[in-house]
Structure 1
Amino acid sequence: MFTGIVQGTAELVAIEEKTEFRSHVLALPEPLRRGLELGASVAHNGCCLSVTAIDGERVSFDLMRETLRLTNLGALDVGDRVNIERAARFGDEIGGHAMSGHVICMAELVEIDEAPNNRRLWFELPTAYSRFLFEKGYIGVDGISLTIGDVRDNRFSVNLIPETLARTVLAERAPGDRVNIEIDPQTQAIVETVERVLATRESC
């Protein structure tokens, strides 16, 4: 489980390409790799990956076909940075919201509104997922727990404070970029349950 509170960023320093498969090597700063072991779960832009090798600061992760299809990790090049969060432990403060690290889709950044000490980003989701969007609801964007601002059809906005911009890769995003999206699991469960109940009643 993750909380959506990004602990830092890490640079992608090597890529090994295979058929419908990729291995990433990140240079993890010492605080982010403290106590790290093989098999541990680490979220990259909100996508949960397992550690496959540790060589000093160089930590390796494998990306299978489904990960490459659903996330923006397959588009990364050496030198790019990703948001990093280690798996939550019992007793940790939950400052964001409970997240699984399972990316459901990607969204396109379509607009940026700048204001002093603030930045509002507008994203466009695939239409099929717009039913999970609610004003003031939670959403995971590249692994960051954020509160939805406005909702317009399949578009939603988030408002970012300077701290979020300083600690994450969202500061580098530009219109046309795609971000990983994780829908709040509770919202998804409620919406899908209501849909099933209504569908059952309509068929009676």
Structure 2
Amino acid sequence: MFTGIIQSVGQIVSREPTGDDFRFVFASGFSTMDDVALGDSIAIDGVCLTVTDIDGDNIAADVSVETMSKTNVGNWQVGTKVNLEKSLTLNDKLGGHMVSGHVDALATCSSIENSGRSIAYTFEIPQDLDKYVVNKGSIGINGVSLTVNEIEDCIISINLIPHTLQHTNLGELSVGDQVNIEIDTIARYVEKMTRPQFQNAG
């Protein structure tokens, strides 16, 4: 489990095929590696991956073809900057919202505009996820916990403040880029619990 508060912007230093899968090595940029061990879960651009090797502050992770087809991992190349977050512990603050690291879909950046000191972004999400997103609700984009300003016809608008732009990779987005999105898990549970009531009412 994660919070969507990015701890480091890392960089891919190698990408190697391993049979049908790929092995990535990341320069993590973490301030300390004392709390990172083999087998730990790390959210990388919002994708929960398992640490398979550690060398200094470099970490390695294996990625399946399935994960690459459902996320933007297929676009990762040597030099790509990625958002990193270590898994949540019981002593940590829940500063963002509950993020599982299980990407729901890809969204496409459809516009970028200056808005005072912040930058306004819009993203087009798949139609089947529209019902889970609400105005002022939370959403994970490339692993970053963000607040939705507005959603209309599968287009979500979000403002990024300077701090977020400086401490994540979202400031490097261009129109047309794809991002990993994860909807608020609570929304799925609410739908499942209330679905029988609506079905019976119908």
SS at match of 1:31: coil
Percent of paired sites with the same residue: 36
The code of the aligned residue for 1:191 comes to E
* Distance change (3 Å), C-alpha of 1:48 and 1:55: same
Q: Please tell me whether the aligned partners of residues 149 and 157 of structure 1 are also in contact (alpha carbons under 8 angstroms).
A: yes
- 2:138 counterpart of 1:165: no
Alignment CA distance shift 1:32-1:149 (3 Å): farther
TM-superposed deviation, 1:189:
1.5
| Residue-by-residue CA offset, 1:24-48 (whole Å, 9 max, x unaligned) | 0001224153321100010001111
Q: Residue 113 of structure 1 aligns with which residue?
A: 113
What is residue 150 of structure 2 aligned with on the other side?
150
1:1-204 to structure 2, matched below 5 A, reads 1-202=1-202
User: How much does 1:73 deviate?
Assistant: 1.2
Runs of 4+ in structure 1 deviating by more than 6 angstroms, as ranges, are: none
CA distance in 2, matches of 1:182, 1:163: 21
CA distance in 2, matches of 1:83, 1:32: 16
Q: CA deviation at 1:130?
A: 0.7
Amino acid at match of 1:49: L
Alpha-carbon contact 1:32-1:86 (below 8 Å) kept: no
State the TM-score, normalized to the length of structure 1. Answer: 0.94
Segments of structure 2 that go 5 or more residues without pairing to the other structure are none
Q: Residue type of the partner of 2:87?
A: A
Distance 1:192 1:156 in 2: 23
Unaligned regions of 5+ residues in structure 1, if any?
none
Name the count of aligned residue pairs: 202
- How has the CA–CA distance of structure 1 residues 23 and 97 changed in structure 2, closer, same or farther, with 3 Å as cutoff? same
Do 1:7 and 1:32's aligned partners in 2 also have CA atoms closer than 8 Å? no
TM-score in terms of structure 2 length: 0.95
